[in-house]
Structure 1
Amino acid sequence: MSRTEVESEIYKISSVSLGPLAVVQPPKKKGGAGGKGGKKKAEGYVIDGVSTTEMTREQLEVFAHRLREEMEREREERNFFQLERDKIRTFWEITRQQLEECQAELRNKDREIEEDEEKHQVEIKVYKQKVKHLMYEHQNNLSELKVESMVGLKLAQDDYTEQELELLKDKKNLKAKLLEQELASEEDIKALRMSKFEKRLHSVRNELSLNYRMELTEVEERKNKQISELMKNHEKAFSDIKNYYNDITLNNLALISSLKEQMEDVKRQEERMEKQLRDVQTENKRLAEPLKRAEAEVAVLERKMGNYGKDKVSLANTKTRLTICQKELENLKWENEVLQLRFKKVEEERDELHNRFVSAILELQQKAALKSVLLEKKLAALTDLLEQKDAQMSEVLAASQLDPVATANMKQRLEELLGGKNTAIQDLQYELARVCKAHNDLLQTYEGKLQQYGVPKEELGFTPLQVSVGGARIGRGPAGLVTTNR
């Protein structure tokens, strides 16, 4: 290989590859005949401050070998950058497809939620209509029961009025009979008292007068007999009268004393009769106490008779209220059974919807978490790779010492490319934040519905997914990211 061919090869290599070696082409001189032969001088290049015309063949071959190695390295880096570019494009396509799939799934879930809400609204309308029918039937039954109860109450009131009038008549008759019985009993008591006492007094008087007359007759007979005997014997015993004067006097005194004793006996009998009379009076007084007690018992019975009427009225009212309460209790039991059945049915539907919603949310959370983690890893890897490429590009540009205009154009194109990539990354981050915000809004709406139906938050069954990217919470977007309720 000649020297000229080596120099031309070096120029081609240097024009293709920009390495750390500086190759400077000297300015061309205007052509002209020089010397006798008119030969043209070969154009030289300045490499590391030494012109190629002044280099030896070995130096040129070494320089050419270095340039080939540099060219091969640059080709490898170019291929590496092309592969990285293809990988980034592939990752971007995969991420875009996954985002579209997430959006489609989210739209499907929104559609399912809307369908469930529509079904729920239809069921609520059906239940409201059923409740209206039941309330109408209940009002009709209640009005019929009121009419029946009013009629029954009117009839019961009429019966009660008749019974009250009959009881008043019976009460008046009983009072009249009781008064007659009291008067008759008083008269009988008085008659019994008078007849008994008069009989006893008359019998006692008769007995006493009879005894008195008998005793008086006996005394008179004895006295007459004694007088006759004395008169008969007076003459006979006149002679002995003096002798027996004392005896006769004693006998007379004894007789007088015996008569006095008899008179005392009569007085004692009179006292005994008077005592019996007092006993009879005491017994009369003792019988007056039972009479008073009987009168008190009659008054108590009269009061009981009045209380019996009141108790009978209160018993009738209580029975009426008891019947009404029993009917109301039966109606309430029936309503309670109906409400229990409705509550069980609604509770089963709520549990089914809750389980379906929890399973759907868990599946969506798992998919979103997996995709978010994959996107974060890819984004971090691409960010690191981009930083490495920026550093390598800066080193290449600094080492190549290119024209400032070409360098500026290259930087501008690179910045535009990076700006497009950053815009795509920001769009993906914004879309991810919007999806997470829609997810959190859906959770808040569901929690609000749970509170509206009286279900505590602890029965939700899961916690909202919170994913952090670069220290930021994806599930908490700005107010502009709030999804609209359909």
Structure 2
Amino acid sequence: MTLLQELVCLKADLEREREEKEHFQLQRDHMLGWRRTVEEKLEEAEAKLRNICKEKQEAEERHQVEISVYKQKLKQILSHQQNTSPHNQNQNLQSRGVEKRLQEALTLKHQVELMERSNDYNRRLRDVEVRFDLKMKALMEEQDRRRAAALRRQKKEAWSHMASLMEEHSRALRGEEELRSAAQEELQEAQQLIKELSAAQEENQGVQEAQQELQRRLQEEVADLHSLLKEAQEELRDLKEENRLLLQGFCKVQQERDQLLRRQEQSMADLQRRSTRKKELLDRKLLALSRFLERKAAQLLVAPSPPADDLPVSGAEVGLNDLSSGEELEAPSCSSPRAEGGAP
């Protein structure tokens, strides 16, 4: 039997033991419940018996009280009769005999009632005891039947478990024989493999020599590759340094370009502003000149024409001279932005 099969068997035994433990716990709980029920019923019967005894005692006390009351009444009647006339004494004696007989009859009646009550209480007590005994007997028989059924079930389970163990044992023996035969076959195969392995080892010796030669060549190639890799790394470092310098130069050139663009934009803005101002000035001068010419034309139409030599210098000529002087003055200011724009 293998270790796995033993483990399975132990696990099955553990499960069976756990089930039996749970079954016995259920039986114990049932017995405890039955015991509590019996104790409760016994307490109820004892309480009933105590009540019956208490009722009997109370009846006896009432009977004694009735007797004492009757005696007191009888004494009162006798004392009353003694106080009457002698004629009535004979009647009193007769009445005493009658009362004595009545008292005896009453006492006998009370005794009979007490005996009847006592017999009734005893009969009821016997009935309670008989019912309790019958119930206890029925409960005990039921418990015996359940215990016998549990024992039969446990015996049946034990026999079935034993049969299953025997079957498992036989299966384990068959499996062991099969394993033994398989092991013998594997041993023969292993011997054959050993022979083949010895032949393969002889062949492998030549392969190992060739492998050593290949490893030596591989190591030489690896050394060459390491040297090439080192040279490539040095070239890569030089290229990285050159690239860094180029990036620095590019950044510097880009900064200079940005500065030149800003200067050009500023000079263009100044030139546009000056041209706008010059245009406005020319417009104002042109407007003034046109107004002046209109006035002069109106004056010429109204006044007679003087000789040519006596004509004064016209306002138009003065305006044109002012305009030409203004252009000469503005010319340097227009040329300076171009010079500044061309300097960059």
Bin for the TM-score computed over the shorter chain? 0.3 to 0.5
Where relative contact order (Cα < 8 A, 6+ residues apart) is larger, the structure is 2
Higher percent of residues as helix: 2
